[in-house]
Amino acid sequence: MSHDHDHGSSMSDTALRVKALESLLSEKGLVDTEAMDELVETYEHKVGPRNGAEVVAKAWTDPAYKDRLLGDATAAIAELGYSGVQGEDMVVVENTPDVHNIVVCTLCSCYPWPTLGLPPVWYKSAPYRSRVVRDPRGVLEEFGVSLPAGKQVRVWDSNAELRYLVLPERPAGTEDMSEEELAGLVTRDSMIGTAVVERPAG
Amino acid sequence: MPLTKDMVPGLVATGASARVDADVAPKVKPGDTISVRNINPVGHTRLPRYIRGKKGTVDRDHGVFVWPDTAAHGQGETPQRVYSVYFTAQELWGSDYPDNDRLYIDLWDNYIDPA
């Protein structure tokens, strides 16, 4: 039954299916393989959560930028050069001592590509999408985040054309860090809302 | 003609906003209470079942957007306003849930009625 041993091909069923689809689309002239490679290259190596981390670190260190970010996120993020597909209309929601925000797309897998890249597998999974709207605190516990009962949880279901990015709380003890050092603390999950940014060790 | 390699950077950087430059009067305003229509479309919709029939509060007005329920079927853009609306966890899931937690979702004019 098990197919984890080597048959001489290391491709999984899914990878084979994708290959077959790609060959068909290419043979029929519906996709250009060079364009597809360029798209894969873009989202594997050029666009990812480091972009969002840069936005967060700037908001933490520049109050005027933070105001612009919370007022018109699309324009403020574009100031740093991040815009485009799946980030055309952005909303940034701020975590505070009183509020924790967490983002989901219950209908599919909508996600802010220019700032976070492509979504992780769990974000697209049915268990995350169906549970987080009903029991966000339980899901957060499984991600290792315990919220006090008094803190309000706001779940954002990105069912429409707006894309959501969480502005995490800046951890205490980081007052002397530079914007670049701060960006290094910001994780992808903290900008989805399934993590908080930890104070650096030591 | 398929997308070519040289078109990729421009496409990725620009995207295609679903905003529409149309003058559509707001049906509700921030702070208003709304009820979600209990409708069950057979085609494409962005109205998840778990909020149908529920009452929520308008948080903000995002402006005017294409309506996917018609656009996805080639039946026109049907431009209308989209609002961020929040629901309490208790309204959605019952009294066993925290009384202070909220769910925010974006709703087009055609999904809601003033309550």
> The CATH number of the domain where A188 resides is what?
3.90.330.10
Nearest-CB residue to A162 (from B50, B93, B106): B106
Same domain? For A67 and A23 the reply is no
The domain tally of chain B equals: 1
Q: Is residue B74 part of a domain?
A: yes
Q: Is residue A197 part of a domain?
A: no
- In degrees to the nearest 10, what's the CA dihedral of A108, B28, B73, A103? -10
Q: Is residue B43 part of a domain?
A: yes
Same domain? For A84 and A177 the reply is yes
A178 is known as an active-site residue: no
Give me the mean pLDDT over the B81-92 stretch.
Answer: 98
Q: Is residue A178 part of a domain?
A: yes
Q: What is the DSSP string of chain B?
A: ----GGGHHHHHHH----B-------SS-TT-EEEE-----SS--S--GGGTT-EEEEEEEEEEE--HHHHTTTS----EEEEEEEEEHHHHH-TTS-SS-EEEEEEEGGGEEE-
Q: Is residue A158 part of a domain?
A: yes
A108 is known as an active-site residue: yes
Same domain? For A78 and A155 the reply is yes
Residue A8 pLDDT more than 80? no
Token reading at A161: 């054309």
How far, in Å, CA of A141 to CA of A187, rounded?
A: 17
- pLDDT of A5 reads 54
Same domain? For A95 and A22 the reply is no
Is there a contact between A70 and A92 (Cβ–Cβ < 8 Å)?
Answer: yes
| CB pair distance less than 8 Å for B5 and A31 | no
Same domain? For A153 and A167 the reply is yes
Query: Which DSSP state fits A169?
Result: P
| B41 contacts: CB under 8 Å, gap ≥ 6 | B47, B69
Same domain? For A86 and A17 the reply is no
Domain that holds residue B107: 18-114
Contacts of B3 in chain A (CB under 8 A): 31-32, 35
> Cα dist. B17→A94, A109, A201 in Å?
24, 17, 42
- pLDDT of B11 reads 87
How far, in Å, CA of A123 to CA of A146, rounded?
A: 19
Same domain? For A29 and A124 the reply is no
The domain tally of chain A equals: 2
Q: Is residue B4 part of a domain?
A: no
The 10s digit of each residue's pLDDT in A121-133 is 999 999 999 999 9
Same domain? For A80 and A104 the reply is yes
Q: Is residue A118 part of a domain?
A: yes
Query: Which DSSP state fits A165?
Result: E
Same domain? For A94 and A20 the reply is no
Nearest-CB residue to A35 (from B5, B47, B62): B5
Which among A12, A23, A26, A108 is annotated as catalytic? A108
Identity of the residue numbered B97? Y
- pLDDT of A81 reads 95
- pLDDT of A85 reads 93
The 10s digit of each residue's pLDDT in A18-58 is 999 999 999 999 999 899 899 989 998 889 999 999 999 99
Confidence at B74, pLDDT banded by 50, 70, 90: very high
Domain that holds residue A32: 13-45
* Cα A85 versus chain centre, distance: 14
SS3 A16: helix
Give me the mean pLDDT over the A85-110 stretch.
Answer: 97
| Average pLDDT of every residue of chain A | 94
Q: Is residue B10 part of a domain?
A: no
**Packing angle of the helix pair A13-27, A33-41 (nearest 10 deg):** 140
- pLDDT of B42 reads 94
Confidence at A6, pLDDT banded by 50, 70, 90: low
Q: Is residue B50 part of a domain?
A: yes
Same domain? For A37 and A57 the reply is no
State the CATH number of the domain containing residue B31.
2.30.30.50
ipTM: 0.96
Using alpha carbons, select from A73, A68, A66, A75 the residue that is nearest to residue A169: A66
| B69 contacts: CB under 8 Å, gap ≥ 6 | B41, B43, B44, B45, B46, B78, B108, B110
Same domain? For A41 and A56 the reply is no
Same domain? For A65 and A41 the reply is no
